[in-house]
Amino acid sequence: MDKKAMYKLSYGLFVLTSAFEGRDGGCIINTGIQVTSEPNRISIAVNKSNFTRELVEKSGRFNLSVLSEAADFDTFRHFGFQSGRDVDKFASYAACERSANGLYYITGGTNAFLSGSVEQTIDLGSHILFIAGVDDMEVLSADPSATYAYYQSEIKPKPAQQPATGKTAWRCKVCGYVYEGEELPADFICPLCKHPASDFEKVVI
Ligand code: FE
């Protein structure tokens, strides 16, 4: 069995937004897909540790903004590398508006949004799978949708070019953060994007 087969699956990238009792939240996910067309339904899988997952579970509503190739790294940093538990991501965020359901959607670096009402919630251990009917949707731009592969190759900053030192280090595959050392502690959490040690690759710098 070659586990690299999993890397051949392609993914889109989205800002998932929701709100409950006046508290707005948003996070980056790569798990939005259409699952039926009659009626129109979408599914999203959201890591339980995400604050926005709580908001979706409590309110039963969300918006899914589709990130396009025009999205900049700051959009990923803003919604992906900090938690809504610690900061209000909408306190000073300009590129958003509220849709008919009262939730924010993202207007910069996106090409569409869909408004969902949760019909089924399935506990998958690390993630919650939400299946939702689509109440509303709009196209926002003609830019192509960003794939996870496009993010990795075109949006994520390239590691700084420095003279090789020959040192062993570990690079976060999500955000590019580099930890210098022969061994990466098993419980290491990326200080930038909060992804675990399993998302690091060994490199020589
Ligand atoms: Fe990281």
Q: What is the per-residue pLDDT across 15-67, written as a single tens digit (0 to 9) for each?
A: 999 999 999 999 999 999 999 999 999 999 999 989 999 999 999 999 999 99
Give the distance (Å) from ligand 1 centre to CA of residue 47: 16
Nearest Cα to 24, choosing from 96, 126, 111, 120? Answer: 96
What does the pLDDT average to over 61-87? Answer: 94
Residue 91 φ/ψ, nearest 5 degrees: -60, -40
Which sign does the torsion angle of CA 40, 44, 50, 54 carry?
positive
Residue 161's pLDDT band, with cuts at 50, 70 and 90, is: low
Q: What is the per-residue pLDDT across 180-191, written as a single tens digit (0 to 9) for each?
A: 999 999 999 888
Residues with CB under 5 A from ligand 1 (ion): 172, 174-175, 177, 190, 192-193, 195
Where do the domains of the chain lie, and which CATH numbers do they carry?
3-151 (2.30.110.10), 159-204 (2.20.28.10)
Cβ burial, residue 138 (10 Å; 0-12/13-18/19+)? exposed
Lowest-pLDDT choice from 124-128, 136-140, 155-159: 155-159
What does pTM read for this prediction? 0.85
Cα three-residue angle 174-192-25, rounded to 5 degrees: 90
Give the distance (Å) from ligand 1 centre to CA of residue 149: 16
In the predicted structure, residue 122 carries a pLDDT above the cut 90: yes
Give the distance (Å) from ligand 1 centre to CA of residue 137: 32
Give me the chain's average pLDDT, please: 93
Tokens 């996070």: give the residue: 27
Give the distance (Å) from ligand 1 centre to CA of residue 92: 24
